[in-house]
Structure 1
Amino acid sequence: MQLTAADDLQSLQRTRIHTQKVLILRTIKNSLTGHELRKIEYIRAGIVPCLSELLSTSNELLKHGEISDTQIQEQDALWLQSAAIVAVVAGAGTAFTRPFLKSRIIDFLLGYLLVTNTIKVRLTILRSLNAIASNLPPQSEKDWTPDQSLTRCLYTKSTAECITRIVRNAGTPIVEQQVVEAALGLICKSCTTEKQKTVLVEAGLLDVLCTQLSRFIAMDHFQDDNTLGQGRHSGTSLRRTIHLSPILETIGLLIEKAQLYAERFIRSNEMISTLSLTIDSVYTEGLVRANPAYCPSTRILSMPLPEHLPTKIDVLLPQVMDVEGMKAARKSSFPPLDVAAQPARRRGMSNRTSTDQNTSMANESSTEPVETLVVPWLLFIARSSSRRRRMIAARVLAILKCHGFVHSVRVRSLASLLVPILVDLLDDTHKQATNSPSDTGADALIGCPYSYLVPSTLALTVRDNEHLQKAAVACKAIPKLAAALKSNVETLQDPALHLWWPQKLHVKLTDGEQDSCLGRGGPSIQLRTNMRLREGLLQALASITPDNDNYRKEICDAGALAQIMQALEPFHTQLVRNNEGDSLSVHGNSPQVLVAACGAVRALTRSPTTLRTKLVDADVSKAVLNLLYTSNPEVRISATMVLANLSHDFSPMKQDISEANVVRKLCEQAHSANARLRHESIFALKALVNNSPNKLKKLIIDELGCSWIRHLIATDPHDVPQGEVIGLVQRDYRKGSMARFASDSPDERMEGADSSAGKADGDDIESYNLHTLQQDLDIQAELLAFLRNLTTGESPTEIIDYLIGEIGQEDFMHVLIDRLRDRIQSTPHIIGQMRRSPAVPAATVMNTLYMIAHLAAAERKYRMMLCNNTTLMRQVSTLFGSTDAGVRSACCWLVINLIYPTSSGNGNGINASGDSIDAVMARARELQKLGIMNVVRRLEKTELVVDVRERAATAAECFGRLLERG
């Protein structure tokens, strides 16, 4: 057999006649199809470098000089057979794909794809690239990430424009539709980063997909899979359009993490106009009479949808009673507890009719963006279709819901119209694919195409919505997800590649030149698909149970905790050596699964009961701490978010987090250039220092560095130029420059924030380190919250003295004042014109005020220092009028801590904190002179928020008791 392979390749290299070359290539292709040993033989004999040389020669011929039509046909035949051989060999697995990635064959195939006009050649090239994309080996032996050789060649401007042209110019022949579906399938398999998606969108692919989708809508006329061809058009006409699923799947991929792209999709003029015209032509009285189930007289909706919803298309959707909306309307009949309303007003509101309640609900929802026709159309497709189309439509709808483009009334209706379908698919997916009624439950999600999308779509649908979460639980989603997760974890394995050979080998099949030997294997396509399923199952469990303790208990009772803990094992490989060749044995979980598992653990740790019982027994802290040392930034971020929950006072695992090596790791992450990692690390440290011993607090201060703390809270994020990271390099920026604020318009700043947030999910290190203005503001507010918790607990004076001693009292007070006031910017080139920057975030102001309040609660010297700082107290007096209730409450707390008349501790008028009653009265008079007493008394009478009003009442009482004595 070895001589046959070598002879064939030698004959291919010797011959100069194109017809002979094509004949030999066809013979080789037929010989390889279905025979794994022959594929190994031809790879070892050098078929990959032979094809590379052949395609290189053909490519040079095309570049230099004109060729006749006959020569073009000969070249097409040559490329057709060569691409077919690549598809046959690469489809055998990851070990067979490695030789092609080490050669230039991918460059040659993409290059010819740009110039050829032959449909069959295009289709074969795209299928060969799909085979490579489906079986990509890992980037390195210890890495889960697939090899990037294909994507580096694929996501260029020229290739993206070529794919866009293919989709745009698709005609009616079935072969052309297959080419388009192969191109879209290649994108869905290989496009993983936001940078790659941006290349496709800039090439116009999203707009072209919207055009093709509008054509499909015009042809389909809202017919489901069971009635295809029975409406206005025949089945033949409908088959002339591209299948809906590839279009929707690609659109969902492009808009999944980019809100701007999602808005571009739903606001597409072609989509909206086509939907409007189609609805007007289809929803006639005759169609309604022909479908009694959809007749308006059969509606069970007693309360109409708001007028701004596209109710015309809702004729084909079952209407359900909006119970939550009615409850909200009833609640609006009663005044909030923190509003002192007149009795007559209460009686007038309680006598409103149901029509008035409907109007109120519509008025409340009128502040939301108007829903486009795309949303109810997707819901209709998800309900009326089946299999892949139903799944993809539901996923795109869920993505739009997460981006905020689905009206709240529509979102509540998903509890009855979509969530039960998705939960049922957890059982029915495998049954529909195999027609096997015995396969249900956990096994139903393994091995069926696109079944891995079911749990992740359910997670997107119910995320951040208590009503939808309740509906999923009522449909028994938790036991189904737990059973599927158990089956996935227990049965999933990807053993090392065993390369059987009929005779004894003197050289291993994996040794030799990289393009003439097999690869060592790696995660197979089945393993990657099942990992995506595991990721979706964990995401669904985390999305259903973030705020309900009963749901968390149900997860533990269903036995899912053991599988969640197994999902926290990092990915690793083991090199298995044998006589035939070395291969990789894969263990652990992909980074995406680790992130999803951390999300599930984070949801469970929100329950003190579960945290103190089940999670302690499972030793969850050890598994999570192990993830801090992985190389993937997203995994470290997710693990740090879990540690923040484990660091609270009620957590029995706080002691594990307080170890010196863990603290040093968190402080190291707080200095990271990654904005999210820095933010979450500071958040975890904030929880850790709360009520902790001063020894631990000093360790954290020393590890972070007082100079770094001062620099980060002293720098205005508006002054940091675009592209730089706040706090990474300690240098003074020009104060008042507001470089980031002044350089861009509001729209440009919003687009920049959106794009950089999306890029942060990519694999590019530079994209991970991009900071937006909002991220820097959040980091600064979180560091102030850390200092707020740092200055509380037992003996806070020791820590305050240590902190201020390191930073400097004068600098420290100057920084605090700076964080409390807005900044004014002079507009360049316009003399005398001033512009105010955006207001200081309420979180920054509130945390700063509470930290000052903690200083006031510590010792007399700090209270005197604060009262003597007239600039600070005048600035505080202006904040009593803040629109944020938390800021107003913090101002009241500061006043209380400054003038609270504590009882004497030694009978001489001196209390335990060293204050005399005369000193307290003197501070009260100083605050009275600044007008703070009048502001507090006015808040006591007019404030609507109970918390602020009670704090103001306490402060007013303190003023009264002190000044009455004076």
Structure 2
Amino acid sequence: MTRAATPPILLQLQNPDSLSTQAAALRSLKNETIGHEQRKEAWIRWGILPILAQVLSTRQSSPGKTAASELNGPASRDPPSPTTDADKACLQAIIILGSLAQGGAAFLSPIFASGTLSILLTILSAPDCPRFFVLPILRTLNNVADRLPLQSQQQGRKDTRLADLLFSTDHVGALSRIIAQDYTSHQDVAAIELAAALVGKLCTEEVHKAILADCGVLDALAVKLASFIVAQGFVLPGAEAHVQGPGALGALPPPAPPSARLAPILRAVTVIVEHSKWRAEHFLSSPAIRTVFPKQVPEFAPADVKRGPWGSTYLSGSAVPRQTGANPLEYFLPPVPLSPGKPSVSVANFPPLGPQASHRRHSHSFPSPFSLLDPPGTADDEENAVIPWLLYVLRAEGGMARLMAARLVTVLFRLSLTRKHRVAMLCYLVIPILLRMLDKDYAVLDDAEGCPDGGLIPPGDRLREEAPAVLATLVIDDQELQKHAVEGGAIKRLSQLLKETYNPLHENAQPMWSADGSSDGGDDDDPDTRPPDCRLGAQGFSPRHCHVMRYRENILKALAALVPFKDEYRKAVCENGVVPYIIDSLKPCPRDPPADTANPKNTAVDGNPTPTLLAACGAARMLTRSVSVLRTSLIDAGVAPPLFVLIQHPDIDVQIAATSVICNLALDFSPMKEAIISAEILPVLCEHAHSTNTKLRIESLWALKHVACNSTNDVKIKIVESLGSGWIKHIITQDPTAALAQRGIDEEGDNGTGTGMSRANSAGEQVDLLNPVDPSPERDDDLKMADTMPPSKMSLEMFLPDATRRRRLALHGDLDQSTQARQDDIAVQEQTFDLIRNLICGPGASEMIDHLFREIGQDVLLDALTDKLRPRAIALPPRRDTAAPPQRALQVPTEILVSVTYVIIHLAAGLPWHRQLLVSHRDLLRHLVGYFNHNHRDVRINCVWVVINLTYEDDASDRDGCRERASTLRSMGVMDRLASLEDDPDLDVRERTKTAQHLVKSMVS
């Protein structure tokens, strides 16, 4: 094969005579490559990317300039197009790079290898970046973001390289600056929407979401959302009087133009706040939201408001607030019927008849003004007006804006930031709309900019793809919402859609031209010898294939969310014939990617990517909760074999999900239990129990606990040997409150005193953990935005959270992480004790007790049980006004107490000498006596069962031992403890107490 002649354009670019020649050559190259995928590949091989990187790197920031502090200020006077040859060449290079990214996933690898994206972000982040560079750079970044899923379809982890660059401290400020600018021109509108689209596409990691909330991007998005509220005429009456108040913007945001799209803004806000109540509250308390939706307070009659000697106002003793009615936005929502079994719906859902019920959209006659007095309302009355506004948008808008409004209101509902009566509205307003979106004839306007993939698939398909995920988030863990969705035909529709995702795909894409088989553009070099920025990467998958996989994933999530509580719903899923399709969804993609990924067959053999596997495991887990389904449909469909493969999947999240399903398959009534034992899954579970991933350890121990229940002793011994006696000893001897003491966080802080606990948050500031959000009045006054600016001159610093809000956000993020880590530590120990409990119960229990005593050591095991019952305290940081550091009692986690007392119950049910070991231990029973009046009924009844087992006479030979144990218990004060349980609110505790009292009295009388 002969080497192709070097194109003249390449020679001009490699050795340009002047900048004008270089710009002209780049313009010719742009015209040659746009829309021609084969030419793009050839130019990659010829090394165009290093040349583009060199051209872009010549764009230097002007010396002596500082960061722009004003929006739409000097930058707005930039010329509409480049005037210098250097800028013209740079602009052509940006457009060419964006065109190359449109070639598909294969072009992403050389683009990342060339470092051009980092250079683009440096140009965009420069304080003197010309406006004519902003849109092309944002379009290029969006082109790359759109095609990242095509490249990482089979990968376990999402490709976060672009997100790591964009959301770094060096470049995230550019997003804040772009989003915070006003909607002054079509270019500004496009730039804001493209920047918001980048957030919606790339912000998937918690660390990135925290950065966007902390650096001001979330507050800037709130300003854009407020602009739509202003444009729609929904600013609450009287808000103008509060724009100068604490935490407000100082002026109403300018209205959004009719051409602006709401969907990208809603999506960006949603992806940042989801899964974090603190970020959601950070959004709802942003200056823009406070400005357009100030807090509504009750109004009092003038005669009730008194003025004190120093000018302060107060209420008379007979003051009664006037009837203010509901939030004014409630009057634009239709009344909904009460949900059965729910508390009565607020009057806000039933606007009064008469003149008050008639309002115009842009000139609202709201029934009540605002008062400057603080409200005495309850927490349930403090719902932000964003909620009813989103519900209005959900009903009034269409397309992606409607779906994103449903998604955001769903996220806020799941984070408990809505009123309780919203459940009825969600049932009757949101669920029917989401189900309607699943229909093929649902009309969607051509709103490609509102779609996160930039229009690679039709907007209607994208809408139907995301609707099941929103439905799943909405109904999860709420039986009332699940009931309405099922009655609306959700299971039948979703089942049919899941079947359709396995229909053959008909792609029109042509296979990518290869230079290896042609002399045009080819050469004699081995492609592997070329530099990374001169060779294409993996071809990737087609947009249609990725759409089908995401659609399948979301449908599986929705089915799983509908059936966790009702066996009839699980049976309905089986009756619709989708169990085989769920099992097929458990099969992963083959390790070797198919040769032609542009035209996939879409069969079960082709497998599923990691997100679909996780969703399929969730659906299978929900179905395994039904005994009848587990014994019939799931066995017939062969649920076990694919799970045995997934438990060793390379992705650890898949291992966790598959193990959680095996937990249900290993239950004692499950016919799959023997299959798990015979398939040699136990060594894998024991290996995963040693994993550094805490969630995998918990699920593996949970599965082993179920396997051990009522199994033969040889299986139990195998579990102990595989786990290792040293590992078991290490887990059970850990202090469940050690992590708490190290972090300096009191589990019972809500019930404690006001003692301060100072520590550093993630921002490096010392904060009081017990009083984290109560700044002094003097400091609060310093944080107010007293200066007022016209909207077109708002400072960028105004969109950064003030010190108090940033400190609160950082503190709550740290508390969330600490709490989750501690809960995981407790769960591991809880499951380990539960495993020991199941090892020493059932047939052959005495032999297993002896085996554990030999392997672990009887003193080690009994001392570990005793240590879990031992009262403990934490030393708080010393205070200036106290000589000795204060101490605070720590409560042993209830989960640990329940598990430990169960182990003691089974030890007390063993041989007489096992019982004698418990009684003769120096501290075990003495500590146990202190928990007879625990607030959890399981702990109380377990303590009573220990007394019953210790004093129950198996045969005549044990009578003397029973009397001795009963006498010891009585001397410890057990009878007084039992007497205190005679009137226990739990019937089982009262009945077992009678039995224990009878046994003790009969032995010591």
| Superposition TM-score, scaled by structure 2 size | 0.77
Q: Distance in 2 between matches of 1:182 and 1:142?
A: 27
Deviation at 1:241, TM superposition (A): 8.1
Q: Distance in 2 between matches of 1:205 and 1:141?
A: 29
Structure 2 stretches lacking a partner, 5+ long: 67-77, 236-253, 299-322, 346-376, 448-456, 744-756, 773-806
Structure in which a larger fraction of residues adopt helix: 1
Q: What SS class does the counterpart of residue 850 from structure 1 fall into?
A: helix
Amino acid at match of 1:945: D
What is the RMSD computed on CA atoms of the aligned residues?
3.8
Structure-2 change in CA distance of 1:10 and 1:468 (3 Å)? same
Q: Distance in 1 between matches of 2:999 and 2:740?
A: 47
1:423 is the counterpart of 2:439: no
Which position in structure 2 is the counterpart of 1:745? 769
Which position in structure 2 is the counterpart of 1:88? 99
C-alpha contact (below 8 Å) 2:151/2:538 kept by paired residues: no
CA deviations 1:837-872 (Å, max 9, x no partner) are 431111111111111011111111122222233532
Amino acid at match of 2:477: D
Which position in structure 1 is the counterpart of 2:844? 795
C-alpha contact (below 8 Å) 1:937/1:953 kept by paired residues: no
Superposed, 1:427-826 pairs within 5 Å as 427=439, 430-433=442-445, 448-492=461-505, 498-500=511-513, 504-505=518-519, 512-572=530-590, 574=592, 587-659=606-678, 661-720=680-739, 745=769, 755=813, 772-826=821-875
Q: What SS class does the counterpart of residue 842 from structure 2 fall into?
A: coil
1:921 to 963, 980, 990: 963
Amino acid at match of 1:134: D
C-alpha contact (below 8 Å) 1:647/1:653 kept by paired residues: yes
1:174 is the counterpart of 2:216: no
Deviation at 1:836, TM superposition (A): 2.3
Amino acid at match of 1:258: S
Deviation at 1:171, TM superposition (A): 3.6
Greater Cα offset, 567-576 or 139-148:
139-148
2:122 to 107, 111, 125: 111
C-alpha contact (below 8 Å) 1:575/1:584 kept by paired residues: no
Deviation at 1:83, TM superposition (A): 1.2
Deviation at 1:10, TM superposition (A): 1.7
Structure-2 change in CA distance of 1:609 and 1:860 (3 Å)? same
Structure-2 change in CA distance of 1:186 and 1:122 (3 Å)? same
Deviation at 1:167, TM superposition (A): 0.9
Structure-2 change in CA distance of 1:533 and 1:41 (3 Å)? same
Which position in structure 2 is the counterpart of 1:943? 984
Q: What SS class does the counterpart of residue 102 from structure 1 fall into?
A: helix
CA deviations 1:934-960 (Å, max 9, x no partner) are 3223312x1111222222222223234
Q: What SS class does the counterpart of residue 204 from structure 2 fall into?
A: coil
Deviation at 1:277, TM superposition (A): 8.4
Q: What SS class does the counterpart of residue 592 from structure 2 fall into?
A: strand
Deviation at 1:833, TM superposition (A): 4.1
Superposed, 1:151-550 pairs within 5 Å as 151-222=163-234, 238-239=256-257, 242-276=260-294, 311-325=327-341, 370-427=382-439, 430-433=442-445, 448-492=461-505, 498-500=511-513, 504-505=518-519, 512-550=530-568
Structure of higher RCO (CA pairs closer than 8 Å, 6+ residues apart): 2
Q: Distance in 2 between matches of 1:17 and 1:198?
A: 46
Q: Distance in 2 between matches of 1:73 and 1:394?
A: 48
Q: What SS class does the counterpart of residue 840 from structure 1 fall into?
A: coil
Q: What SS class does the counterpart of residue 499 from structure 1 fall into?
A: coil
C-alpha contact (below 8 Å) 1:574/1:584 kept by paired residues: no
CA deviations 1:728-766 (Å, max 9, x no partner) are xxxxxxxxxx99999983578998897479889xxxxxx
| Superposition TM-score, scaled by structure 1 size | 0.80
Q: Distance in 1 between matches of 2:445 and 2:579?
A: 30
Deviation at 1:827, TM superposition (A): 3.8
Q: Distance in 2 between matches of 1:557 and 1:860?
A: 54
1:853 is the counterpart of 2:866: no
Q: What SS class does the counterpart of residue 184 from structure 2 fall into?
A: coil
C-alpha contact (below 8 Å) 1:719/1:739 kept by paired residues: no
C-alpha contact (below 8 Å) 1:142/1:572 kept by paired residues: no
Amino acid at match of 1:101: F
Q: Distance in 2 between matches of 1:851 and 1:900?
A: 17
C-alpha contact (below 8 Å) 2:841/2:906 kept by paired residues: yes
Structure-2 change in CA distance of 1:856 and 1:534 (3 Å)? same
Which position in structure 1 is the counterpart of 2:306? none
Amino acid at match of 1:646: L
C-alpha contact (below 8 Å) 2:156/2:651 kept by paired residues: no
Q: Distance in 2 between matches of 1:211 and 1:36?
A: 41
Structure 1 stretches lacking a partner, 5+ long: 224-235, 281-306, 330-364, 436-443, 725-737, 761-769
Percent identity of the aligned residues?
Answer: 32
CA deviations 1:545-574 (Å, max 9, x no partner) are 001111111111112112111111113353
Deviation at 1:649, TM superposition (A): 0.6
Which position in structure 2 is the counterpart of 1:290? none
1:893 to 945, 965, 970: 945
1:30 is the counterpart of 2:54: no
Deviation at 1:803, TM superposition (A): 0.9
CA deviations 1:25-51 (Å, max 9, x no partner) are 223222222222332333333322222
Q: Distance in 1 between matches of 2:324 and 2:869?
A: 42
2:935 to 876, 879, 883: 883
C-alpha contact (below 8 Å) 1:308/1:370 kept by paired residues: no
Deviation at 1:6, TM superposition (A): 1.2
Q: What SS class does the counterpart of residue 438 from structure 2 fall into?
A: helix
Q: Distance in 2 between matches of 1:759 and 1:821?
A: 27
Q: Distance in 1 between matches of 2:84 and 2:178?
A: 20
Q: Distance in 2 between matches of 1:49 and 1:500?
A: 22
Q: Distance in 1 between matches of 2:153 and 2:343?
A: 57
Q: Distance in 1 between matches of 2:727 and 2:827?
A: 16
Structure-2 change in CA distance of 1:758 and 1:80 (3 Å)? farther
Amino acid at match of 1:852: I
C-alpha contact (below 8 Å) 1:137/1:521 kept by paired residues: no
Q: What SS class does the counterpart of residue 841 from structure 2 fall into?
A: coil
Q: Distance in 2 between matches of 1:741 and 1:27?
A: 57
Greater Cα offset, 799-808 or 133-142:
133-142
Q: Distance in 2 between matches of 1:61 and 1:266?
A: 37
CA deviations 1:691-728 (Å, max 9, x no partner) are 1111111111112122222221211143349999xxxx
Q: Distance in 1 between matches of 2:731 and 2:497?
A: 47
CA deviations 1:351-395 (Å, max 9, x no partner) are xxxxxxxxxxxxxx9676842222222222212221111100111
Q: Distance in 1 between matches of 2:867 and 2:976?
A: 25
Greater Cα offset, 244-253 or 453-462:
244-253
Q: Distance in 2 between matches of 1:369 and 1:887?
A: 37
Structure-2 change in CA distance of 1:198 and 1:741 (3 Å)? closer
Structure-2 change in CA distance of 1:819 and 1:741 (3 Å)? farther
C-alpha contact (below 8 Å) 2:499/2:581 kept by paired residues: yes
Amino acid at match of 1:657: I
Q: Distance in 2 between matches of 1:309 and 1:780?
A: 52
Q: Distance in 2 between matches of 1:664 and 1:695?
A: 14
C-alpha contact (below 8 Å) 2:151/2:540 kept by paired residues: no
Structure-2 change in CA distance of 1:328 and 1:390 (3 Å)? closer
Which position in structure 1 is the counterpart of 2:71? none
Deviation at 1:515, TM superposition (A): 2.4
C-alpha contact (below 8 Å) 1:419/1:472 kept by paired residues: yes
Structure-2 change in CA distance of 1:367 and 1:950 (3 Å)? farther
Structure-2 change in CA distance of 1:144 and 1:871 (3 Å)? closer
